[in-house]
Amino acid sequence: MSRNLQVDITQQTLPHWVQPGVSYFFTFRLADSVPQELLKQWVRQRAVWLENHPQPWNDADALEYSELFTERMDTWLDAGYGSCTLRDPEIRRHVEQALGKFDGLRLDLDCAVIMPNHVHLLLKPGEDENVFKLVGGMKGASARICNIQLGRPPQAFWMEDSYNRIVRDYEELRAFRNYIQDNPQRAGLRPDEFTLIENHILK
């Protein structure tokens, strides 16, 4: 998890940073997990901020982005807005299976938490694996089976984009692990409302 390795950037709605041989923290959300008016406001404000803060970011820019956008989104998610389909243990089981399908083969899954309307995970892609394709596969596979389980036609299950951050050192790794572990308690969830996966294999 070196701070000095080459960084590549891909772009969807959010800027995505790619670096070989590193671990990543990801968050992805149900399609209805944030009220549309709040989401539109958030997207507009973020677009203006991104226009005024071109890549690459320094540490101060990254911290400001986190405070203005990531932390605010996390607060909304923990408020439990939307259908919160993942509160159903059977639906969570399908998501858990998608997260673990390639664990130990194409990626190493360190830990994850499946909340009622979002998922946080720490993983390290295998050599020559594209982490965004891996996570996209998790989302696509779980969306298909969950829509079937819910008895509804194919439709948006997850929000299109995902938040991601490169884990730069062991201190950040521990901080993300603690964040994942503590998220259910912060959100006031009962034990039957979330799934926590703790492998803790990354170093």
Omega before residue 20 within 30° of 0, cis: no
The string of DSSP codes covering 164-187 is EEEE-SHHHHHHHHHHHHHHHHHT
How many of the other CB atoms lie within 10 Å of CB of 146? 23
Domains of the chain and CATH, by start: 8-31+86-198 (3.30.70.1290)
Residue 32 gets which letter from DSSP? T
Six-digit token string for 164: 């991601």
Residues 185 and 86: beta-carbon distance below 8 Å: no
Residue 76 tokens read as: 């909304």
**What 3 state SS string does 94-137 have?**
HHHHHHHCCECCCEEEEEEEECCCEEEEEEEECCCCCHHHHHHH
* Per-residue pLDDT in tens (0 to 9) along the chain, 203 residues: 333 333 333 334 444 555 668 999 999 999 999 888 888 898 899 899 999 998 888 889 988 988 898 888 888 888 888 999 999 999 999 999 999 999 999 999 999 999 999 999 999 999 999 999 999 999 999 999 999 999 998 889 999 888 888 898 999 999 999 999 999 999 999 999 999 999 999 98
Tokens coding 167: 């884990």
Please give the DSSP secondary-structure letter assigned to residue 13.
S
Q: Give the strand pairing for 118-125 and 23-29.
A: antiparallel
